[in-house]
């Protein structure tokens, strides 16, 4: 009887330890070149006007997004412990996002929006590593 009591007490501790061990580590989007894609289905690519545009993230957290007409959009992405704080040239209020890996790229889930009341299109994007191909 005594052995069953000890096993009964240890079982929840062992299960809890396995759950904690399975928690994925925080994700950080590394510096580099990315191509912007629609995060959802290909049917929603039309909703993402910047699909296919290059996104360059530098090691200091600054980024540029360049249109096909060579117009540049800039901002800052500070990351720590799986969280990203985002600001850009149009909105000085920071947005805070959870960073995660998705389909070979990086996606962001809203914790708190930048510039409340503004479209949260950042979460509709998937950043896939790679440089844009050259036009023929």
The pTM of the full predicted model, rounded to 2 decimals, is 0.73
User: Which residues lie across from 15 on neighbouring strands?
Assistant: none
Enumerate the domain spans of the chain: 32-129
Structure confidence by residue, pLDDT tens digits, 56-87: 999 999 999 998 899 998 889 999 999 998 88
C-alpha count within 13 angstroms, C-beta hemisphere, residue 109 = 7
pLDDT at position 15 over 60: no
pLDDT at position 96 over 80: yes
Q: What is 32-129's CATH number, 3.90.1690, 1.10.3470, 2.40.50, 2.40.128?
A: 2.40.128
pLDDT at position 88 over 50: yes
pLDDT score for 94: 84
């Amino acid at each position: 009887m005594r052995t069953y009591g000890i096993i009964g007490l240890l079982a929840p501790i062992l299960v809890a330890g396995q759950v904690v061990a399975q928690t994925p580590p925080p994700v950080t989007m590394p510096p580099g070149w990315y191509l912007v894609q629609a995060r959802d289905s290909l049917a929603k690519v039309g909703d993402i006007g910047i699909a296919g545009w290059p996104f360059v993230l530098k090691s200091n957290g600054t980024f540029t997004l360049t249109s096909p007409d060579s117009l540049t959009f800039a901002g800052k992405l500070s990351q720590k412990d799986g969280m990203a704080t985002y600001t850009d040239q149009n909105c000085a209020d920071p947005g805070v996002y959870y960073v995660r890996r998705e389909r070979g790229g990086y996606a962001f889930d809203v914790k708190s929006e930048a510039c409340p009341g503004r479209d949260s299109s950042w979460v509709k994007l998937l950043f896939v590593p790679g440089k844009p191909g050259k036009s023929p």
